[in-house]
Structure formats: structure tokens, C-alpha cells
Amino acid sequence: MHGHGNDMTKHRIIYDTDPGIDDAIALVFQARHPAIELVGITSVFGNADIDTTTANARYLASRFAPHVPVARGAAAPLRRPPPEPIAHIHGKDALGEIERIGHVDKQEDRRAAHRFIVDTVRANPGEITLLAVGPLTNLALALKEDPGVAALVREVVVMGGAFGIHGVLGNATPAAEANMHGDPDAADIAFGAPWKVSIAGLDVTHETVMTRAFLASLRDCAGDAGRFVWDMSRFYEGFHADDGVPDGIYAHDYSAAAYVVARDLFATRRGPVRVLTDGIAAGLTIQKPDSMHTHAPDWDARPDCEACIGVDADAVLDLFANTLRN
């Protein structure tokens, strides 16, 4: 007998996030998708400092996911100081500087994020999906605290990295995507652990653009959530325009959330992934595809990851619109 909460067709997700406008967009999707049960939100530094991203996680949970606990995560990468704040991408408050509606009644969980992850995975063996869309510090700390959790996680889905499929290797630097750049050591640990990892990087997120017309139709036809996505994305659109994207925003973090429920919309490549941890290319992700038979000991000893190399972007965008409209 399976109760509702144990239904394996449901994806029970801990959302590890640094909100962030696109993080908030992905949260709204998860809160509305019938095959997703959010079991926790864990914050991490990244798009802003940890106080800001945790406050945003509490705000988002209060408004869209009222029964979901929020646990505060890492304030800094494993072995570097916290990064300088960046306000030009997501705004000073990291949610596009919009007027906030409603009460923030969500308190923080008493546990640190990595402890929350360990406890929740241990209490639900084989059931929890970790959807990680910020620097991977909390995941690395969870593995350090309890290496046995890796075998008990259902799967890990990450937004991060870039494999150069369309010639792009990074956005934070020419060689590193922002989440990898945020904590390259943590990313290399997370991709080397014995759990099932899938990675949606810039190779697919740059293909999936929410245009202004798409966002406007959400505003007009997708109720409160649609208006929220429109309002927040005004600031993000300005950043994209400055960055050479003339119409709309990249669906970075949402792409990883879409992968959890609709992986048939993505093409993937299997093989171990390393992350460079030092030098000017720190944060660069490099996969050794399984089709390559050359001896490469720095990769060969590690588990395969699925790296997304293609996407049916129209279908991924339809999935978002249909989920919010329902």
C-alpha cells in the first residue's frame, strides 16, 4: 500500500537554491506541478549573500509553498571567501526589486541545510531528489558529514556548467558557469560521489529563452504566479539585454526542474565530469564521454553523469506555461 506522500511517481524534491530570479521562477513551477512534492528548500550563497538568499527562500515559501520547510545553508564556498555581492543581474534584493506581497511567516528550520539534507534523505531512503541550482556547497557538506547519503538519494539534478556544445564554456567567466564558479571544489566533489547525477548547463539553458511575449502571456493568463514571474523578470530582462540577449531571459534553473519531470525533452551524454578547481579556468566542467576509450585516470575512476546536450525548448516552455495556467 502506498499512501499519497510515498507515491514513487511523485518526485519528492529538496530544492537547493540561491534565489535569484530564475530560481524563484523554477520554485513557482515546482509548487504548481502535480508530479512534484517539495519536501524542503535549502538556501546557499550565490546570487546574493546568504542572508538575502535565505530571506528570499522564506518569502517564496510563505507565498507559494507554505508547508515546506526552509533551512539556511552555506555562506561561503568550501575554501574561498564569500564572493562580492552582484546586484546587476538579479537586483539588490536578488528578486528583481519588486514590491513584495503578503506576510513572511515562514521561520527557518533549526538545522543547517546540509544537516536537513542528511536527515531528510535518511528518513526517506531512495525517495529524495536533490534539485540543486546554486553553488553546490550544501551538497558537498552533506556528503562530508555523511558519505552514506549518496547511496540513499533517488537522484541529483543540477543546473550548472557548460560543455561547449554550442561553443560556450561559461557566463561568470569565459571558462565557468556561475554556479560552478561559485564553488568549484564543491562541484567536483558532488559530481564524483556515488549517486545518480544529471546536469543541465548553459548548453541547454541558453537554448531555452522565455521571450517577452511568453512572459506577457503568463502575466495575462497565469494568475498570481504569472504576474509574479512577469514582475520579477523585468529586472532580469534588462540584464539580459545588456548581455546581448535582445528579447527575454534564459530559463536557467527552470530547465533543471523541467528535466526532473520531463527528461524525454532533453538529449544527454553519459560520462564522468570533472570541474577545474584552480587557475583562470576554475569552474570549467569537462566530461569524458563514454564513447571515448582513451585512458584518462582523472575521469575513469569516477561515476558517470548525464550531461544535457540538447533540448526541445518549445516543449519545455509549453510545460511551464501549462503548469502555471492550471
Among 69, 73, 77, 134, binds Ca ion (CB under 5 A): 134
Instruction: Please check whether residue 187 is in contact with residue 237, taking contact to mean a CB–CB distance below 8 angstroms.
Output: no
Catalytic residue, chosen from 181, 252, 293, 295, is 252
Interface characters, 265-304, with Ca ion (x: CB under 5 A): ----------------------------------------
Site string for ligand BDR, 36-55 (x = CB under 6 A): -----------x--------
* Consecutive H or E run containing 267: strand 266-271
Q: Which of residues 244-303 bind ligand BDR (CB under 6 A)?
A: 252-253
CA distance 129 to 323: 20
Collapse the DSSP code of 309 into the 3-class scheme (helix H, G, I; strand E, B; otherwise coil) and give the result.
Answer: strand
- Compute the least distance from the CB of residue 133 to ligand BDR, in Å: 5
CA dist., res. 227 & res. 206, Å (int): 23
Element (H, E) at 17: strand 11-17
- Binding of residue 96 to ligand BDR (CB under 6 A): no
Is 252 catalytic? The answer is: yes
Q: 228 φ, ψ to 5°?
A: -60, -45
Report 154-193 residues binding ligand BDR (CB under 6 A): 159, 171, 177-179
185, interface contact from Ca ion, ligand BDR, none, CB < 5-8 Å by kind: none
Q: Which of 12, 15, 16, 20 binds ligand BDR (CB under 6 A)?
A: 20
CA angle at residue 225 from 209 to 132, to 5 degrees?
60
Q: Are 81 and 55 in contact (CB under 8 A)?
A: no
Indicate whether 20 belongs to the interface with Ca ion (CB under 5 A). Answer: yes
The amino acid sitting at 13 is I
Cell numbers given for 90: 538579479
Shortest Å, Cβ 55 to ligand BDR: 16
Minimum separation from the CB atom of position 266 to ligand BDR (A): 17
* Residue pointed to by grid coordinates 576554475: 282
| Residue 189: closest CA among 119, 153, 138 | 138
- Interacting residues toward Ca ion by CB under 5 A: 18, 20, 23, 133-134, 253
- Interacting residues toward ligand BDR by CB under 6 A: 20, 22-23, 47, 89, 133-134, 159, 171, 177-179, 252-253
